[in-house]
Amino acid sequence: MTSPFKTGIPPRVALVLGGGGLKGFAHIGVLRALEERGIRPVLMAGTSIGALIAAAYVRGLTIPQMEERALSLRKPDLFRIDHMGMVVRRMLAPSLYLEQPLQDIVDRLAPEGTFRDLAIPLLVNTVDLERGTQVTWGLPGLQDVRVADAVYASCALPGFFPPRVIDGRTCVDGGVMENTPALVASRDVDAVIAVDVGSTSLTAARRVREKGFAAIFMRSAQVMMRSLQQMQLAAWHGPPLLLVRPPVWRYNWFSFAHTRTMIDAGYATACDVLDSVGESLYSAGGVYPRRDVEVLVDRDRCTGCGMCVTLAPALMRIDEGKATPLAGPLEWSRADGAFVTECPVQAISVMAIDADGQRHRTMEFRVESDS
């Protein structure tokens, strides 16, 4: 059936789904938007829950099937504390939670067999803990392993789930090094669509030190993943990249209470981005969509520490002891402006400028509280 939608997406596109805990349910909404527009990726790639959902898509699960399984998932289906291991092995226990519940979920969703058996190429991002290197299963020379093993390892957040030994490598969640593995998926394609659900605007965490070691570890991991993601996107040198960032940053990584909201957020954001991309992805490169923005500084709040100038010397300067933008309206992609949230007193804000010249505060650079 011919799609009623007209898009500017080139024929050979890779789809990359990032990690982000249960916020990754937004990927299901993105897949629905792509299917409605007749967009069929020639390659899938993912990290953590992104790898799991990409694997389910490659296996042939329909969007309604994915939605049904996501909506029915409950905490005991995934998180069961390894009481025995912690009592017997104590500090030598490999993880807080048991391996089997996660393995059962992976077995129900991932394709059987090895990467060589797949009809659609799939790349699953992991990290080899012992060698300290990124390992992307599905690449040439890394295809003769079970897909389910690689997907499990990609979901095995260190400390939360045990690592998986694959072909002699002790592998864990690929988000440790690259949460949205776009560059590795960019070879031999016309464009990349990358869905980032775990490295977007970071909400302010309240009383994190009172919530235990798991919360402290997860907060640290979030900060690390966002910083790595920003650096990787700032240095993007692959084909045109369409960055989809559903507004799910305010939700907890392991909240089971907002599944429907996150699926719908992924769908709405993908529809907006896909329907407005125009012919941008037929360019030579760059990150899209792009928009006009204005950077503002609250001079009363600014302390003149100079962090913004250090991070963005081409955009900011110190004038009379206060931070000052060097230029007027700028054209930014969603990968730009990382320095804004690094201001220690939150004196910098960003206004998006629409087609009519109207200015409105963009949500991406606001520091909000976790729900």
Span 164-180, pLDDT tens digits: 999 999 999 988 888 99
Q: Which residue carries 């899209």 as its tokens? A: 288
Q: Is the dihedral of CA 173, 174, 175, 176 positive or negative?
A: positive
Per-residue b or e along 250-260, where b marks 16 or more CB atoms closer than 10 Å to that residue's CB: bbbbebbebbe
Choose, from 149, 173, 196, 336, the residue flagged as catalytic: 173
Cα–Cα dist 263/230, whole Å = 24
Task: Calculate ∠ Cα 370-353-287, nearest 5°.
Answer: 75
CA dist., res. 94 & res. 328, Å (int): 52
Tokens of 113: 């067999």
Contact residues for 193 (Cβ-Cβ < 8 A; gap 6+): 9, 13, 14, 15, 16, 34, 41, 241, 242, 244
Q: Which residues of the chain have pLDDT under 50?
A: 1-2, 367-371
Q: Of 48, 95, 186, 199, which one is the catalytic site residue?
A: 48
3 catalytic residue (yes or no): no
The length of the chain is 371
Please list, in sequence order, all residues whose beta carbon lies within 8 angstroms of the beta carbon of residue 66, skipping any fewer than 6 positions away. Answer: 28, 31, 53, 56, 57
Please tell me the predicted confidence (pLDDT) of residue 351: 87
What does pTM read for this prediction?
0.88
For residue 6, what pLDDT is reported? 56
154 is annotated as an active-site residue: no
